[in-house]
Amino acid sequence: MTLLEAAAALRRREISSAELTAAALQRIERLNPSTNAMQTVMADAAREQAKQADEELARGEDRGPLHGIPVAVKDLFSTKGVRTTGGSSLFADHVPDHDAAVVESLCAGGAVLVGKTGMHELAYGITSSNPHFGAIRNPWDRDRIPGGSSGGSAAAVAAGMVSMAMGSDTGGSIRIPASFCGVVGLKPTYGRVSRYGTMPLGFSLDHMGPLTRSVRDAGAVLNIIAGYDPRDDTSSRRPVENYVPDIEPTIRGLRIGLPENFYFERLDPDVDAAVRAAFHAAESHGAEIVPLRVPDIAALNTVARVILLAEASALLEPHLEQRDRFGPDVLALLDQGRLLPATDYINAQRLRRAMQRQFADLWSRVDCLFTPTTPITAPRIGETATTIGGQSQDVRLATTRLVRAINALGLPAVSVPCGADRRGLPIGLQIVGQPFAEALILRVAQALVPAEVPVPRL
């Protein structure tokens, strides 16, 4: 059941928040041992919140579509009085004294917070094989990674523990797990959703967004969490819109960019075929497909890597003498960041500005871009290299190759399932829009994606 379906059932009195919450907790209890999606389960508090939601709804006090709905947040969103680890042993006992802005908004909207989802250590990686809290497993095939760093959020949604879990995305960390787990993952425009109260990784690259089982659910959550927050210095004052698309929206006449360079190079053939089929589907709905060359995405990826290496290492510098507190992959990245000169960081931010201008020209020709989210489907746990077209590639670099640049540009992007590979593993389509075009990309996604995405039978 999707979030909005559950909300409708609540208002028809067919089900109560207490029943929805009990079902979520039961599913977590049954499936968490094999997926490790949830790091902290807040059963007692959730039952209390559900009871309160039922009482409020009975009194006619309706706080909106999330009222009484069980949800989860990645374990880097501060939760007052509840441990928030960031997937790190450094913060294993960290209990915040305040809620993140997103948590405040969800709670104000009446959502029932059932738990905190597991993640890649410090959100700095794509496997979610956490050395301190265990590997998170993909519900479609538990020998495979769910992607990351918001792996627990994607796995929890795909496994049906919750209909929505919040994630964060610094170099693809919402969209990659959405692709690997076959769910919807929305990275809004930089500044659209407050970062206040979240553990940062790359200050100028971090974005917060939902993972859901339907496109409309993602829009409903964005309606709740978007908006100006003076506590986040990068928060936008641009007015929010209604982000929930119609059930059967029209995309007739919209111009969809088909990149002729970069995005369709070095892809698994099943991924290539599924994403090209999405273009045909959009065309059959009346959209115009516009082949075009995109600016130098490889260069932008390099720029984004320099920025992230420097920002993450600057942030964690005070802890880097405790080398045994980090997993080897994260420590290697943090060491690299310490060796970059400050001039490289400044010049990367200058290149970013120049490339932002190049990319802006593209929006006069198209309304959105379609690309694959990831060039491969979910790799096996422990796999560090993958072979595409006979060439061996580093799994982390391959997996982030099609998503990382979008963070440097701060553009909104959504990953939606668009098929499955020969093994039945989900394939993700990335839809990218110009700044603050969340409503448009969600409308396009809704036109192409089933009302509820296919989920594994568990």
- Please confirm, yes or no, whether 74 is among the known catalytic residues: yes
204 near other proteins, rule: CB under 8 A:
yes
Q: How far is CA 184 from CA 153, 275, 418, in A?
A: 11, 15, 10
58 near other proteins, rule: CB under 8 A:
no
What are the backbone dihedrals phi and psi of residue 137, each rounded to the nearest 5 degrees, phi first?
A: -115, 145
In whole angstroms, the minimum distance from the beta carbon of 437 to other proteins comes to 20
CA distance linking residue 212 with residue 183, whole number of Å: 6
**Cβ within 8 Å of residue 361, ≥6 positions away:** none
In whole angstroms, the minimum distance from the beta carbon of 239 to other proteins comes to 14
- Please confirm, yes or no, whether 149 is among the known catalytic residues: yes
Angle at 15 between CA 12 and CA 21, to 5 degrees: 135
Give the range of 45-53, 86-94, 158-166, 351-359 binding other proteins by CB under 8 A.
351-359
- Please confirm, yes or no, whether 34 is among the known catalytic residues: no
Q: Are 179 and 373 in contact (CB under 8 A)?
A: yes
Nearer to other proteins, 268 or 329 (CB): 329
CA distance linking residue 96 with residue 210, whole number of Å: 22
Among 16, 129, 149, 179, the one annotated catalytic: 149
Nearer to other proteins, 163 or 407 (CB): 407
No. of helices (H) and no. of strands (E), the chain: 14, 15
Amino acid type, 446: Q
CA distance linking residue 208 with residue 293, whole number of Å: 29
CA distance linking residue 237 with residue 217, whole number of Å: 24
Encoding tokens for residue 448?
A: 């192409």
In whole angstroms, the minimum distance from the beta carbon of 127 to other proteins comes to 17
Strands 112-117 and 70-74: parallel
40 near other proteins, rule: CB under 8 A:
no
Give the range of 25-33, 65-73, 274-282, 296-304 binding other proteins by CB under 8 A.
296-304
Q: Which of 248, 291, 318, 339 binds other proteins (CB under 8 A)?
A: 339
The count of other CB atoms within 10 Å of the CB of residue 164 is 29
In whole angstroms, the minimum distance from the beta carbon of 330 to other proteins comes to 12
Among 173, 236, 313, 415, the one annotated catalytic: 173
Q: Are 116 and 74 in contact (CB under 8 A)?
A: yes
> What is the pattern of x (binds other proteins, CB under 8 A) and - over residues 247-286?
----------------------------------------
CA dihedral angle for residue 396, residue 401, residue 403, residue 409, rounded to 10 degrees: 120
**Cβ within 8 Å of residue 397, ≥6 positions away:** none
44 near other proteins, rule: CB under 8 A:
no
Nearer to other proteins, 31 or 307 (CB): 307
Give the range of 23-31, 160-168, 338-346, 415-423 binding other proteins by CB under 8 A.
338-346
Among 16, 74, 105, 116, the one annotated catalytic: 74
331 near other proteins, rule: CB under 8 A:
yes
Give the range of 30-38, 44-52, 100-108, 339-347 binding other proteins by CB under 8 A.
339-347
Nearer to other proteins, 350 or 423 (CB): 350
In whole angstroms, the minimum distance from the beta carbon of 117 to other proteins comes to 29
| Residue 451 DSSP label | S
- Residue whose structure tokens are 């909207």: 109
In whole angstroms, the minimum distance from the beta carbon of 101 to other proteins comes to 13
CA distance linking residue 194 with residue 192, whole number of Å: 7
Q: What does the binding site for other proteins look like in residue numbers (CB under 8 A)?
A: 204, 230-233, 237, 298-299, 302-303, 305-306, 309, 321, 331-332, 335-336, 338-339, 344, 346-354, 356
Catalytic residues: 74, 149, 173
